[in-house]
Amino acid sequence: MSNRQVITILGATGSIGLSTLDVLARHPRHWQIHALSANTDVEGMLELCRQHRPRHAVMASTEAADRLEKALREEGLETLVDAGTQALEAIASAPEVDVVMAAIVGAAGLLPTLAAARSGKRVLLANKEALVMAGNLFMQTVEDHGATLLPIDSEHNAIFQCMPPGYTCGQEPAGVSRILLTASGGPFRERAPETLRQVTPEEACAHPNWDMGRKISVDSATMMNKGLELIEACWLFHATPDRIEVVIHPQSVIHSMVAYADGSVLAQLGNPDMRTPIAHALAWPERIESGVSPLDLVGVGRLDFMPPDPERFPCLRLAEEAARAGGSASTVLNAANEVAVQAFLDRQIAFTDIPRLIEAVMERMPVIEVDHLDRVLQVDREARERAGAWVQRMGRQPA
């Protein structure tokens, strides 16, 4: 890479943000960090400001921003501190910024990610909710404003790498017959379904292959994460749900595959480390060193594949139904899931109540078109209110 690029990282203290900073630190001549954002982790952001000296730091709340600003001034650091959604949109759309890593988890990442796309940035998309909540709106924004969209999820990045030369996200890929979306199966792929009601938050967050945040770990345990990825893949690769097949692959070595009309199947393989897709997207179309150890196929020994069990993973079925329904269905699905996962983590509902809550909300909200941001946010709010009411009405301490 010849030109120095300026980057903003949304969600810098999370696992994707920290992995991004690790890759950037290996190539200091190629990258300059403009801004970092975090939710409420003041200590984590303070340490990142010490190490990387960003021009701006944005926290979710004014209280967290005030604490960070005080700590920075006490150490003589000059990073400018701000708070809130408008500040996030500002650092995502700043004229001097070339690249935005969109790694805020959940619906909170939608507005700043849209702002980056409207500003024509290279958007490295790790926030799947931007597509799940507002896929049509987001993809149209990317096209209208000439943004470059590169997927960061290991599966979608793998699919992108297996697409025909010169492929652009959102186009219908020539000659592709099927997309094979791999899934680890999470910590409960072999656990008896009748025992899942007793699952604790600690068990659900103990992923066998990946180091992720608590919300994403629970989504992996329910396989809602794979359902959201299926919806995301429909938008990224111009595919209908029936052309995407979810395959459980416990080793997490093949990150996804693309099947072609001539019978060829291309796969992207690598150790389960998010620095690989991050480095790929940062340097695309070139390649840079990521810090990931080489894959030892002899050491891996075997690669297994199996279909997902619908009884064990009802959330995957709900996501597939939302993908087929289109419109607001996936917005409702995402909002209800976020409320359900938080209620489970707070021990208000049982693990098996997560799909029950989501299905109840989906059944009570009609599918409508969501081609305007205001409508997306309205549907999101209503779904959250209905999900919260369900928790209050039905939730209890899990047995």
Digit-coded pLDDT (tens) for 237-295: 999 999 999 999 999 999 999 999 999 999 999 999 999 999 999 999 999 999 999 99
Give residue-wise pLDDT tens across range 160-210: 999 999 999 999 999 999 999 999 988 898 888 889 999 999 999 886 665
Amino acid at site 63: E
pLDDT tens-digit profile of 369-388?
A: 988 899 999 999 999 999 99
What dihedral do alpha carbons 245, 135, 212, 66 form, nearest 10°?
Answer: 180
pLDDT value at residue 126: 95
Stretch 4-26: mean pLDDT: 96
Strand 176-183: give its sheet, edge to edge. Answer: 244-248, 176-183, 254-260, 265-269
- Domains along the chain? 5-152 (3.40.50.720), 170-273+292-318 (no CATH), 326-388 (1.10.1740.10)
pLDDT in tens, 117-146: 999 999 999 988 889 999 999 999 999 999
Closest among 7, 284, 267 to 167, alpha carbons compared: 284
- DSSP-derived secondary structure for 125-143: E--THHHHHHHHHHHHHHH
Which pLDDT score is estimated for 92?
98
Q: Give the C-alpha separation, 48 to 63, whole Å.
A: 19
pLDDT of residue 212: 67
CB crowding 131-158: b at 16 or more within 10 Å, else e? bbbbbebbbebbeeeebbbbbbbbbbbb
H helix runs in 75-213, sequence order = 85-93, 110-118, 129-144, 154-162, 201-204
pLDDT at 208: 62
pLDDT digits (tens, 9 = 90+) for 53-92: 999 999 999 999 999 999 999 999 999 999 999 999 999 9
- Tell me what pLDDT residue 136 has: 92
Mean of pLDDT values over 149-161? 97
Q: Which residues on adjacent β-strands are paired with residue 22? A: none
What value, to the nearest 5°, has the Cα angle with vertex 385 and ends 203 and 188? 20
User: Cα dist. 33→4, 21, 77, 96, 246 in Å?
Assistant: 10, 9, 15, 11, 37
Average pLDDT, the chain: 94
Contact 245, 181 (CB under 8 A): yes
pLDDT in tens, 319-368: 999 999 999 999 999 999 999 999 999 999 999 999 999 999 999 999 99
pTM of the full structure: 0.92
Tell me the backbone φ, ψ of residue 273, rounded to 5 degrees: -145, 120
Average pLDDT, stretch 291-315? Answer: 94
pLDDT attached to residue 343: 96
pLDDT in tens, 26-49: 999 999 999 999 999 999 999 999
